[in-house]
Amino acid sequence: MSLLIKDGTVVTAEHTYLADIYCEEGIIKGIGENLEVPSGADVVDAGEALVMPGGIDPHTHMELPFMGTVTADDFLSGPSAGLAGGTTMIIDFVIPSPEQSLLEAFDTWMANAQKAPSDYSFHVAVTWWSDQVREEMGILARERGVNSFKHFMAYKGAIMLDDEMLLKSFERCQELGAMATVHAENGELIYHLQNKLLAMGITGPEGHVQSRPPEVEGEATQRAITVAGAVNAPLYVVHCSCKQSLGAIAAARANGQAVYGEALAQHLVIDESTHYLPDQALAAAHIMSPPFRSKEHRDAIWGGLQSGALQTTATDHCAFCAPQKALGKDNFAMTPNGCGGIEDRLSILWDRGVKTGLITPNEFVRITSTAAAKIFNVYPRKGEIRIGSDADIVVWDPEASRTVSASTHHSNMDFNLYEGMHLTGLARATVSHGKKVWDGSELHVETGVGQYISRPTYSNVFDRVRKYEALNAPRRVERAEAAE
C-alpha cells in the first residue's frame, strides 16, 4: 500500500516547507518537492493545504465504567470521530477498581481496544496501594510498555488516593522511570462542599461548579507538585483549567522541576455560565471535572500554552448521553462527570488559536501532537513528519469551515459541547498508517487495524529530573570529630 500526499505545505512543530510526502507500508518513505513515485500509489491532493503530524490526544476515556454507567463511545466510535477531526492516536486510561489487579484491568482495556481503527496506548491509574500494586506497576512498565501512571486526588469514595498513597506511587514512578500523572482537585473539600450545597437544597448542575472552585484545584496541584518534588518524580498535571493550577505548574517549572501541564480544548472556549443554564439537561450535559471557568481563567490557560508553561492539549473525551446524565437529576453529585470533544479539538484550536493569532501553526502542531509524543516517549515514531516516522498525517485545510453539530458528528454522543459553532480549519484528509481513512466527508476506517503503542520508560523528561535532583541533592554538614 503506497500513498503520495502531493503539493502540500508541511508544518511541523519546528519547520514549515513545501514538499510531497510518500508513504509506503504505513511509514513515511519520501519527503521532497515533485517526488517521483511508483505508479499505482494513491494520491491525496494537498494543494493549498497544510500537511501536519496527526493529532495525538493524550487523555480519553473509551468504554469507561464510571459513576454507575459506561461511557457512550467505544474504541471504534471514539477514535473514528477522532480521525474525522485529524487525530490519529489516543492515549486512554486503564482505571482499575480499588483492590482490582492493575494487570487484569490492563487486559480488559486491551481486549476492548482490539476494535480500534487507529493507534492507541494506555496510561494506567493507581486507585489503591499495596505491595501487589507496587509489583504490578513494575511489570506494566518493564513488560507492557506503560510509562505513565495516573493518580486521582478527587472522586472521594471511588478512585481517590490519600497523600500517603500518592507519595508511595510517585516514588515508584521515579524508580521505574515512569511519568506520574495526576487529576488534581482536593476531593475532601469537594465532598464537603457538595454536602453543604445539597443541604442548602442546591441539587441542580449549578451545584457542581460551586463545589469545585479554582482554589480546590490550585491547592491539589500545588500539593501534587510538592509530593512529586520530594521524591523527584516527573509530574504531568492533566486538565489544568484555572490560574491557580497554572501558577503552581509555572512556578515549579521555573524552579527546574520536571512538571508538565495539559489543557483541554473545552476549558479554552466554554464558559462557566453553562453550569447555570436554566435547561437542566443542557446544564447537566456540561458537567465535567474540573468544571468550566470564567474568561480570566480561560485567558490564563491560553497564556500557559503560549508561554510553554503548559505543553499539551487534549479532550478528556468521556462521553455520556442525556439518559446517563439524568442519573444526577435529583443530586448533581450523582451526575456522571465527563464531556466529549475528540472530533473537534483541532478545529477549536485552529479557529480560536491560530486564526486569532494567539498561536502559530508550528505551535499548533506542538500542542496537538509533538509535545505529547515527546513527553510520553513515542517521538519521532509519532508526532513528526520525518523519514521513518509512522505515516499518521492530517491534511489540514486552514480556510475551510464547518458548523459543529451532534447531528453530524461521528461520536455516539447525543450532545456536542460546541453545538452550532462555525469553525474555520478542518481535516481535508486524515491518513493513518499510510492509508486515507477520512476524505473530508466520509470515514473509511477498518475495525481493529489500530495498533497498541508500547511506550518505553525514561523518556527525555528524566533529563530534567536528573538536573533537578542535582540541584536539590541532600546536603550533609561535615563536622570535625568531637575532641576525645
Would you count residue 257 as binding ligand URQ (CB under 6 A)?
no
Nearest distance in Å: CB 261, ligand URQ: 14
Q: Please choose, from the candidates 234, 94, 96, 106, the residue with its C-alpha nearest in 3D space to the C-alpha of residue 178.
A: 234
Distances (CA, A) of 470 to 173, 260, 465, 473, 477: 18, 19, 9, 5, 17
Would you count residue 455 as binding Zn ion (CB under 5 A)?
no
Amino acid (one-letter) located at 14: E
Residue 22's Cβ-count burial label (10 Å; 0-12, 13-18, 19+) is buried
Nearest distance in Å: CB 183, Zn ion: 4
Q: Which does 288 bind (CB under 5 to 8 A by kind): Zn ion, ligand URQ, none?
A: ligand URQ
Distances (CA, A) of 373 to 34, 53, 305: 29, 10, 16
Q: Which does 209 bind (CB under 5 to 8 A by kind): ligand URQ, Zn ion, none?
A: none
Alpha carbons 208 and 275: distance in angstroms, whole number: 8
Would you count residue 272 as binding Zn ion (CB under 5 A)?
no
Would you count residue 316 as binding ligand URQ (CB under 6 A)?
yes
Handedness of CA 117, 344, 303, 289 (dihedral sign): negative
Q: Which of 29, 123, 144, 183 binds Zn ion (CB under 5 A)?
A: 183
Number of residues that bind ligand URQ (CB under 6 A): 9
> Cell numbers of 273, please?
455560565
Give whichever of 169 and 337 is closer to ligand URQ, judged by the CB atom.
337
Q: Which does 236 bind (CB under 5 to 8 A by kind): Zn ion, ligand URQ, none?
A: none
Give whichever of 183 and 325 is closer to ligand URQ, judged by the CB atom.
183
Give whichever of 78 and 338 is closer to ligand URQ, judged by the CB atom.
338
Q: Which of 171, 272, 316, 344 binds Zn ion (CB under 5 A)?
A: 316
Alpha carbons 272 and 227: distance in angstroms, whole number: 30
Nearest distance in Å: CB 338, ligand URQ: 4
Give whichever of 74 and 316 is closer to ligand URQ, judged by the CB atom.
316
- Give the footprint of ligand URQ on residues 325-354 (CB under 6 A): 337-338
Residue 254's Cβ-count burial label (10 Å; 0-12, 13-18, 19+) is exposed
Please state the three-class secondary structure of 19-75 as a single string. Answer: EEEEEECCEEEEEECCCCCCCCCEEEECCCCEEEECEEEEEECCCCEECCEECCCCC
* Residues in a beta bridge with 130: none
Would you count residue 317 as binding Zn ion (CB under 5 A)?
no
Would you count residue 318 as binding ligand URQ (CB under 6 A)?
yes
* Per-residue x/- track, 282-311, ligand URQ (CB under 6 A): ------xx----------------------
Handedness of CA 189, 195, 200, 201 (dihedral sign): positive
Task: Please spell the DSSP secondary structure of 69-113, one letter per residue.
Answer: EE-S--TTHHHHHHHHTTEEEEEEEE-PPTTS-HHHHHHHHHHHG
Alpha carbons 80 and 116: distance in angstroms, whole number: 8
Determine the straight-line distance between the first and last CA of the chain, rounded to whole angstroms: 83
Nearest distance in Å: CB 38, ligand URQ: 46
Nearest distance in Å: CB 451, ligand URQ: 25
Would you count residue 313 as binding ligand URQ (CB under 6 A)?
no
Would you count residue 186 as binding ligand URQ (CB under 6 A)?
no
Q: Which does 221 bind (CB under 5 to 8 A by kind): Zn ion, ligand URQ, none?
A: none
- Give the footprint of ligand URQ on residues 7-46 (CB under 6 A): none
- Give the footprint of ligand URQ on residues 46-65 (CB under 6 A): 61
Give whichever of 160 and 365 is closer to Zn ion, judged by the CB atom.
160
> Cell numbers of 354, please?
491560530
> Segment contacting Zn ion (CB under 5 A): 117-125, 313-321, 368-376, 432-440?
313-321
Give whichever of 316 and 392 is closer to Zn ion, judged by the CB atom.
316
Nearest distance in Å: CB 60, ligand URQ: 9
Give whichever of 186 and 257 is closer to ligand URQ, judged by the CB atom.
186
- Give the footprint of ligand URQ on residues 125-184 (CB under 6 A): 183
Alpha carbons 9 and 52: distance in angstroms, whole number: 9
In the complex, the residues that contact ligand URQ under the rule CB under 6 A are 61, 66, 183, 288-289, 316, 318, 337-338
In the complex, the residues that contact Zn ion under the rule CB under 5 A are 183, 316
